[in-house]
Structure 1
Amino acid sequence: MHLRRIFGYTAIFLVLAAPAVRADDICLGDEEEKAAKAQVAALRKAESSGQPAALFIAYRSIMNNDCIDRYDKTAMATAKANLTKLGRDLAKTAEAKGVFYSPEPVRPDGHTSAFRYFDAIGDYPEANRVMLKAMHLKPEDLQLFKIAWAIDQGRTAGSRDPRTGEQPPYVSPPAYRQELTKIASTNADRLMKAEEKDAPGLSGSAADVSVSTMSSLQKLRTAAEWMTYAPGGDKPAKDRADQRGDTIMKRSDPTFTHMNATLYYEFSGSPKGKEIAAQLKKKGEESQRAMEKTGNKLKEAITEQSAADQKKFDKKKADLEKELGF
């Protein structure tokens, strides 16, 4: 009798506790179950499709779902066992075709770069290697360079912290950054040398000054961007901008050319440049006010003259009407 009572209490406890256990397990929700089963179905379809890229995506989807094991006992194990090798094979195929980098993520049609495959499987050294190949193929592509420079964003490595659940960030080896620095320095040097060809135009006609300034500043601005990734920063480009501004300031036609000097000084941002730019701006505003004042006086003079002419006309008209007896 005593044992029956114990078993009875145990059964009641299990019945009452079961809903609580289910409520605490997020994987047992209807949406989670539906998503997991859909991913397993997609995996089975990809396995029979004969399309490696689609299978790769299916494997990744499985591995990103912590609830898969609740509904399929083999899917996760299969994905873990095959994802890395499949990713490397796909990456090598893309690399052999010369597709080193693409901004798009991994695609099921196979039109994906070697970088994306290596990065997706966490083989960061190989991903960095093909990224450098892409950079050497297009060494003057500043936007691609910026992507290569920020390549470690979002990457993690090592075990999760048991307290916070966070993983430490992955940091690429110094050699990778050094190679990018060389590319940046080379581009900065190239642009600074090219800019020197614009300098003679600053001593030409006012029209030459305007054209040369635009061409020169474009090169200096781009060179400055490259320099931010090289030792020493963008100071050489900013210093040269000050020099170009000084050259224009020595001209004898300030009305037509000093506005170009202002552009150089504003770009340089140096204390000297800021001061001169402020002075030129003030002079420009004073000239503008003087022109407006002169224009207003001219307008008033014309108005007064028109009024006087109208008065004379009215008098002559009145005299004529009087003579004619109107």
Structure 2
Amino acid sequence: MEIMPMTQFRILWSALLILALTVSPQAVRADDECMAADEEQRTKADVAAALKAEKSAKQAELFIAYQSIADHYCAHLFDKNGKDLQARAKANLPKLGRDLAKAAEAKGLLYSNEPVYTIVGAKKDKNGNTISEGTRRANERASAFAWLETSGDHNEANRVMLKAAHAKSDNLEFFKTAWDVDNGRYEQVDRKTGERKPYASPAAYRQELQKIASANADRLMKAEEKDAAGLSGSAMDVGMASGRSMEKLKAASDWMKFLPNGDKPARARAEQRGDTIMKRSDPTFTQMNAKAYYEFAGSSKAKEKLAQLEKKSEESARAMEKSAEKVKGAVTIEKSEADQKKFKKGKADLEKELGF
């Protein structure tokens, strides 16, 4: 057997190594996916749907068709129109998304959970196996944000989200949705590595949201000041005022958590309110309200005051128990003496009647 010269062996090995390094992981994945039994039929159906949508004047349907074909691994393999169609889809999707978003924004549909398409005609057998994947249909209720987000225009999607956040400026749950807008977002796929890095919105986006959070926190803190005026009233006033005050402080705290310094101002004020109550001349009847403030404040000093307050409460409870026992004892003795007098009188009356 003829042995390959070392020089030729090295050349062959180097060539194989270069080939292995230059084969795109994307291409490998594409080949794997395109080998599925029904992939050719599915791909041709997607291509046909996109070509049909191009001939129609329906932007939404064209967007959905383009979206399904733009990053299709197999389009260029199974259909002669696939490669050119993909190029048109990628080129036109951003503008289509902006146009559809503009129309939705004009209708006031800034943000909703509605997707840009719905599935029609999907079927499964009794075992849960897919019989038909159905057909994608454009969703008329899709929001401006949804169209922009789906087309990958995160900057414009953020603009719409901020507009919606300002329109619902006192809605904390919606604010949280806007704050977490980057969850599930990724950069475009790196064609060389196949990787997708998480997307991060510009700092200005959250800075704008923080303005909303700050405005809400300020509004609630000012409203709390009016409620706290009742802490100088009667014991009944303290109970009502502290309840409203605590409600405002907790709400302000929820907004402050999105600010750089957190909710320290709300907790510090809660401790001050607790101190105000404890300085009253009737702390025995109002100290439970102070306890609620200290629990919310959570500082080391507030915890010390809370411990002292609980100790005093226990001492007061024991003192009241002793007082109650004394009163009960006095009542029992008094009742016993009265019963004895009544018994003696009854006995004397009976003896008199019987002639003793």
Superposition RMSD in Å? 3.7
Q: Is the 8 A contact 1:106 1:112 kept in 2?
A: yes
Who is 2:285 aligned against? 256
1:15 corresponds to which residue? Answer: none
CA contact (8 A) 1:161 1:167 kept: no
Displacement of 1:272: 0.9
Q: Describe the SS at the equivalent of 1:179.
A: helix
Instruction: Indicate conservation of the 8 Å contact 2:71/2:86, yes or no.
Output: no
Question: Given the superposition, is the C-alpha separation of residues 28 and 280 from structure 1 closer, same or farther in structure 2, using an over 3 Å criterion?
Answer: same
Which residue in the other structure is 1:272 paired with? Answer: 301
Q: Give SS of 2:170's match.
A: coil
SS at structure 2 position matched to 1:156: coil
Residue in structure 1 matching 2:153, options 117, 120, 123: 123
Query: 1:154: how far off?
Result: 2.3
Counterpart of 1:157 in structure 2: which amino acid? Answer: E
Structure 1 range deviating more: 117-126 or 33-42: 33-42
Cα shift at 1:57: 2.9
Q: 1:77-156 residue pairs with structure 2 within 5 A?
A: 77-107=87-117, 108-156=138-186
Determine the structure 1 residue equivalent to 2:17.
none
Q: Partner amino acid for 1:265? A: Y
Where do 1:154-303 residues align within 5 Å? 154-157=184-187, 160=190, 162-163=192-193, 165-285=194-314
Higher normalized helix content (fraction of residues): 1
Q: Which amino acid aligns with 1:147?
A: T
Q: For structure 1, which runs of at least 5 residues remain unmatched after alignment?
A: 1-20, 314-326
Q: What letter is aligned with 2:69? A: I
Counterpart contact for 1:217–1:264, Cα < 8 Å: yes
* 1:202 CA drift (Å): 1.1
Q: Would you say the 8 A contact 2:115–2:139 is kept in 1? A: no
Structure 1 82/162 Cα, relative in aligned 2: closer, same or farther at 3 Å?
closer
Displacement, 1:262?
Answer: 1.1
CA distance in 1, matches of 2:33, 2:326: 82
Query: Is this contact kept in 2: 1:131–1:148, CA < 8 A?
Result: yes
Correspondence for 2:68: 61
Alignment partner of 1:25 out of 32, 35, 43: 32
Greater than 6 Å deviation, 4+ residue runs: 289-303
1:203 deviates by 1.5
C-alpha distance in 2 between matches for 1:266 and 1:40: 64
**Separation in 2 of the partners of 1:297 and 1:41?**
95
Q: Which amino acid aligns with 1:125?
A: N
The alpha-carbon deviation at position 239 of structure 1 amounts to 0.9
Q: Alpha-carbon deviation of 1:237? A: 0.9
> Whole-Å Cα distance in 1 between the matches of residues 75 and 36 of structure 2?
13
| Identity value in percent | 60
What is the rounded CA distance, in whole Å, between the counterparts of 1:279 and 1:143 in structure 2? 38
TM-score, normalised to structure 1, is 0.73
**Which residue in 1 is equivalent to 2:350?**
none
- Asked if the contact 2:224/2:248 (under 8 Å) is kept, the reply is yes
Calculate the TM-score normalised by the size of structure 2.
Answer: 0.68
Evaluate the alpha carbon distance shift between residue 63 and residue 213 of structure 1 in structure 2; reply closer, same or farther with a 3 A threshold.
Answer: farther
CA distance in 1, matches of 2:172, 2:289: 27
Give me the whole-angstrom Cα distance separating, in 1, the residues matched to 2:329 and 2:37. 83
C-alpha distance 161-53 of structure 1, shift in aligned 2 (>3 A): closer
Change (3 A) 1:77 1:290: farther
User: Counterparts of 1:44 and 1:289 in 2: how far apart (Å)?
Assistant: 86
Which sits farther off after the overlay, 93-102 or 274-283? 274-283
Q: Distance in 2 between matches of 1:82 and 1:262?
A: 63
Give how far 1:158 is off: 5.2
1:76 to 79, 86, 92: 86
For residues 89 and 204 of structure 2, what CA distance do their matches in structure 1 show?
33
Verify the 8 A CA contact 2:230 2:238 in the aligned structure 1: yes
Displacement of 1:150: 1.9
Cα distance change, pair 27–251 in 1 and its aligned pair in 2 (3 A) = same
Deviation at 1:233, TM superposition (A): 2.2
Provide, for residues 254-311 of structure 1, a one-character-per-residue CA deviation record: whole Å limited to 9, x for no partner: 33321111111111111111122233334445555777788899999999x99xx9xx
What letter matches 2:174 in structure 1?
Answer: L
Which residue number corresponds to residue 5 of structure 1?
none
With a CA cutoff of 8 Å and minimum separation of 6, indicate the structure with the bigger relative contact order: 2
